[in-house]
A and B are shown apart, each in its own frame.
Chain A
Amino acid sequence: MSAGTRAPAARPGWMEKPRPVTQGAKAVALVAVVLLVCVPFLVIVSTSLASTDEVVANGGWVLWPTEPSLDAYRDILDGGIVTHALGVSAGVTVVGTLLSLACTVTLAYALSRPGVFGGRPVLLLVLFTFLFPPGMIPSFLLVKELGLLDSYASLVLPVLVNVFNLVVLRGFFQGIPEELYEAARLDGAGDWRVLFSVVLPLSKAALAVVGLFYAVAYWNSWFYASLYLESDHWPLQQVLRTYVIAGSGLTDATTGEGTVTAPQTVQMAVLVIATVPILLVYPFLQKYFTKGVLTGAVKS
């Protein structure tokens, strides 16, 4: 059952012809929804492409730049603090996603097999953490005691496996017909072989969704960075928070100069750069929503 994908049939015969007023109201509502989502993005992209003079003259923002230029992007991608933060974000996202996927897949697979030794207690152990998270202070002290402060590992290890993603994958693995397992086993395949040659090839859609969920979470994460890392190791979102939301000055870590507030165009360019990867992976993520991977999980 996928979300809202009733057959794309036209209006069924028994349904009365909608009144023009209803049609109009619906159209207005739909346009409003689309505009509410899109206009803020349009504003930041346009402002980032405009010249500083134009932005100032217009009072802080531009809806459509008269002379678009990439100056703001050239400024921040010139090897300064934003460039570095971009590298940190990309690295943490790629490495974190791979590690998380590996640990989630293996645990979900083991927990999806009937009669595995200790399966039931381990599952309860995992689900209980959902009900009762350990809390911010104990987690912080643990990371500190483990000596992970100011290491990139502190952004990945404490959030390595997400319970929701684990449950999604486990449910998906359980949905694979038992006959396929049996057949592989008759061919002499052990559990590892079954995982790699039967389960994973059949689970591409679920793996894609869970992988993209992890990637988005790592890319968007900023709080742990503010908690565990020194400012010269910050990822993009935390840099963004400091310079755009808090309005602090841009101190260039490499040259050590300049604590003036970054111009609006530059701030907006940082905002765009932090958003673009999400917009790029979104169509792929979107493609799988309709395949019902998620709704099945939401229900379980």
Chain B
Amino acid sequence: MERKRFQSRALLLLMLPGLAYFLLFHYGALVGNVIAFKEYVPFDGLWGSPWVRLGNFQRMFEDGAFWDSVLNTVWIAVLQLVFFFPVPLALALLLHSLTWSTVRRFVQSVAYLPHFISWVIVVALFQQVLGDTGLLNSSLDGMGLHTVDIIGDPDAFRPLVVAQVIWKDAGWGTIIFLAALAQVDEQQYEAAAIDGAGPWRRFWHVTLPAIRPVIVLLLIMRLGEILSVGFEQMLLQRDAVGPEAAEIIDTFVYYQGIVGGDYGFAAAAGLFKGVIGALLVYAANKVAHRLGEQGVYK
């Protein structure tokens, strides 16, 4: 008993720096959300500024620009769900089907790499390839064809951001599918093959049922995060295409608060997103549990 208490004290001491970080920079900052119910006056600071109760939220609900940003966020999230989501799955199936392991490992390494490249560099690379004077347009020009304005065109923005996400994270997204595929019992394939099932039927009756839980889980979790699309990605390109195309909730908060100085109003929008987002993730987990999956947390 004596020793147990001693050990416990050492552990508490070890816990201290990390715990202090979470208390200060997460819970301390969380408390700062009271600014959403105040009008921020720089001179009075966070605590001295006058209360406006739900005034900021009222303004927000009546602000067309805010709802446009919500709509943009959901639109882009849905497009990513439809067009990004299947790509890692397809790529994982392709990689898994390779019997030549050297090639498989090489392609895997190459495909994971863009995940570690910063958004600044990704956006710059896309400019170099698809921009006015980029690889694509100078080639088109050289062949005497019309050039296409992709980077600065608001109408092309949504496909562009989806393409960027695919380039950056499709390879990385294969990890979880590959792990699921690796767990499929090889004997099931063999038994199916002996029973005369061809590659397609084996895929349909063995592979798909085996990895369906992972697919369903990831889909549900992605639906829970429908209010979160890449903030850095949008912020980097908002100037090029304008807010009509690129404003999402997070950039709305940034431009109203950090750029515009309207902290109370911006914090209200951020808090709105935070609460709805947390509820959605929570609900998504509940649904995942109900379907017998593990969810992200227990």
Contact = CB atoms under 8 A, between A and B. Distances in A.
A245 B151 CA distance: 11
Contact of A237 (B111, B120, B182, B194): B120
A161 B179 contact: no
Contacts of B133: 59-61
Contact of A298 (B175, B237, B267): B175
A136 B118 contact: no
A35 to B, nearest CB: 10
B253 A110 contact: no
Interface in B118-159: 118-121, 123-129, 131-135, 138, 141-142
Contacts of B236: 241, 245
A147 interface: no
A34 B107 contact: yes
A202 interface: no
B110 A4 contact: no
Interface residues of B, number: 112
A43 B138 CA distance: 13
A64 interface: no
Contact of B141 (A59, A107, A126, A135): A59
Given A132-B278, A161-B22, A3 B182 contact: yes
Interface in A214-257: 216, 219-223, 227, 237-238, 240-241, 244-246
A61 B128 contact: yes
A107 B14 contact: yes
Interface stretch (B24-32, B62-70, B72-80): B24-32
B101 A8 contact: yes
Interface of B is mostly: helix
Contacts of A39: 129, 135
B190 A110 contact: no
B257 A36 contact: no
Interface stretch (A69-77, A78-86, A90-98, A115-123): A115-123
Nearest to A60: B133
Interface in A10-67: 10-12, 14-16, 26, 29-30, 33-34, 36-41, 43-44, 47, 58-61, 63
B116 interface: yes
A208 interface: no
Given A131-B281, A145-B46, A237 B118 contact: yes
Given A30-B103, A135-B270, A107 B15 contact: yes
B227 interface: no
B124 A106 contact: no
Nearest to B91: A33
Contacts of B128: 40, 43-44, 47, 61, 268
Given A110-B11, A132-B278, A244 B114 contact: no
Given A138-B31, A271-B121, 8 more contacts: A4-B92, A33-B171, A37-B113, A106-B16, A157-B25, A237-B118, A244-B120, A271-B124
5 contacts: A15-B193, A16-B199, A34-B106, A130-B297, A245-B124
